[in-house]
Amino acid sequence: MRPAVAALGAVTSLGKDWPTTWQALLRGARSSVLFADFDTPRSLHVPDEVPVSAIPELERSLTSDGCGAAGRLVRSVLEQITLPGLGVIRLYGASNHSETDILLCLSQNEAAPSSLWRALLIDAMPDSLSWNLGTWVYSACTSSSHALAAALLDFADGESQDAIVVSADALSSIAVAGFWRAQATTHKTCTPFQEQRDGILIGEGAAGLRLRPPSRTSDGQIHLLGIGMSCDAGHPTDPDPTGTWLEQAIYDAINWAGFSPQDLRGIVSHGTGTKKNDAIEASVYHRIWPNAEVPITSIKGAIGHTMGAAGLCNVLVAVEASRTGLLPPTVSNGSNSIEGIDLVRDSARQIEVGAPVLAVASGFGGNNFACIVG
C-alpha cells in the first residue's frame, strides 16, 4: 500500500497556510526576529542576541486547561486539511516541548488552577484536542516523522483508510535557552550546508498531511513510497560523527520504495545549519551520491527549525517539490557550499515533475528518519 497525499496544511513564520508558505519558500524568503521582540509572556529572559523565527500574531496565552500556542497551531492545521470524506479519520500527532509554557506559568504562579497542573501531568497538547487520536509520538525533532511512520504502517495493515498526521511546536523559552547555551543557535542568518554557517534558527510551526488510499488513475497524485529509520543511540544531542545510522535509514527508505539511489531527483535535508550536523549529513549524501548528482535543499534558514514539526515540514516540501517540479532554495549568505554536494541556493531548482524526492529528519537522542515521496 502506497497511500496518496490528499491534502497538506501548515502554519509557519512565512505563511498562515501551506500555499502561502510554499510560495514564500520558492521566492527564497526568510523570517527571523530577535528573541526579545518575540512576544512570550513567560520568557526566561534569554538575551536578545538570539534570533528566532516566530509566527506573527500567534496568540500565546494559555487557557486554563493548558492549551497554548502549539495547540492552536494544531487546530489551525486540522481546519486546513479536514476536508469532507468518508469514514473515520485517525489522527497521528507529535510534539516536542508542548508542555513547557505550562511549566513556566506554574513556576511563577503558586495559585494556578488545578486544571493547569492536571494538563502538565497528562500532557496538555493531546488532551486539549477533542479528536479521537490514533497515536501521539514523542521523539524530539523526529516526532512528526515517527507519527508519519505509524500512519503508514496502519495503512499497510488495513487499519486505516483515512489518516491525518499533524505536528506542532511553538517557541518555548526552555528550548531557546537550552539550544542557546548548548552553543547551537545562529547569531545572524542560518545558512545550512555553507562554510560560514554558525547554528540553528529556532523556529515554530505546524504541519499536517492527510493520507488516503491511492486513486486508480494516477492523476498527479503524490504517494508515500517508503520510509527508513534508525537511531544513533550514542550522544544525547550530537549526531553520530560517522553518519552510519543516518545512511542506513536513507538506504532503508530507498529499498522500501524499490529504488536505487540514482532514481531520486531531490533531497529535502535535515540541514539545521550547525557545524556538526551539516558536515555529517553532507558526508552521508556524498557517500551515497559521490558525484553530487541529486540536488539538496534545506528550509531551516527560511522558516527556522520547527522542532517536532520539522520532519513533517520537510515531507510537505518534498511532496510539493515532486508535484510542481521545483525545489526551493536554501537561504544563503554568499559563502561557499560544503564540498561534495549540490546545494540548491539563490533560486528554486527545476526537477522532473512526479519524480521521487527524499525528505530527511534527525533529532536529539540520535533518531534518523528518511521518507521518499513521488
Pick from 301, 328, 366, 374 the residue near another protein by CB under 8 A.
366
User: Which positions from 193 to 232 touch another protein by CB under 8 A, shown as an x/- string?
Assistant: ------------------------------------xxxx
Q: How far is the CB of 15 from another protein (least distance, A)?
A: 23
CB 226 within 8 A of CB 304: no
Tell me which stretch binds another protein (CB under 8 A): 17-25, 72-80, 170-178, 329-337: 170-178
252: helix, strand or coil:
helix
Establish if 117 lies at the interface with another protein (CB under 8 A): yes
Establish if 187 lies at the interface with another protein (CB under 8 A): no
DSSP label at 67?
-
Give strand pairing partners of 266.
357
> Are β-strands 342-343 and 357-362 bridged in parallel, bridged antiparallel, or unpaired?
unpaired
Tracing cell 492545521 back to the chain, one arrives at 77
User: Which positions from 16 to 55 touch another protein by CB under 8 A, shown as an x/- string?
Assistant: ------------------x-xx-x-x-xxxxxx-------
206: helix, strand or coil:
strand
358: helix, strand or coil:
strand
CB 151 within 8 A of CB 227: no
User: Rounded to an integer, what distance in angstroms lies between the CA atom of residue 137 and that of residue 140?
Assistant: 9
Buried b (16+ CB within 10 A) or exposed e, 271-282: bbbbeebbebbb
Pick from 23, 183, 218, 335 the residue near another protein by CB under 8 A.
183
Pick from 82, 161, 221, 248 the residue near another protein by CB under 8 A.
248
Residues within window 299-358 making contact with another protein, judged by CB under 8 A:
none
Residues within window 249-278 making contact with another protein, judged by CB under 8 A:
276
Question: Nearest-CA neighbor of 150 among 312, 325, 317?
Answer: 312
How many residues in the shown chain lie near another protein by CB under 8 A?
73
Residues within window 84-113 making contact with another protein, judged by CB under 8 A:
96-97, 99-100, 103-104, 107-108, 112
Q: How many residues does the chain have?
A: 374
Establish if 179 lies at the interface with another protein (CB under 8 A): yes
Tell me which stretch binds another protein (CB under 8 A): 4-12, 23-31, 116-124, 287-295: 116-124
Give strand pairing partners of 208.
9, 166
Q: How far is the CB of 177 from another protein (least distance, A)?
A: 4
Among residues 169 and 320, whose Cβ is nearest to another protein?
169
Rounded to a whole number of angstroms, the distance between the first and last alpha carbons of the chain is 14
Establish if 245 lies at the interface with another protein (CB under 8 A): yes
Other Cβ atoms less than 10 A from the Cβ of 235: the count is 12
Residues within window 129-148 making contact with another protein, judged by CB under 8 A:
132, 135-140, 142-143, 146
Among residues 170 and 321, whose Cβ is nearest to another protein?
170
User: Rounded to an integer, what distance in angstroms lies between the CA atom of residue 206 and that of residue 320?
Assistant: 16
Pick from 126, 213, 214, 354 the residue near another protein by CB under 8 A.
126
Among residues 240 and 342, whose Cβ is nearest to another protein?
240
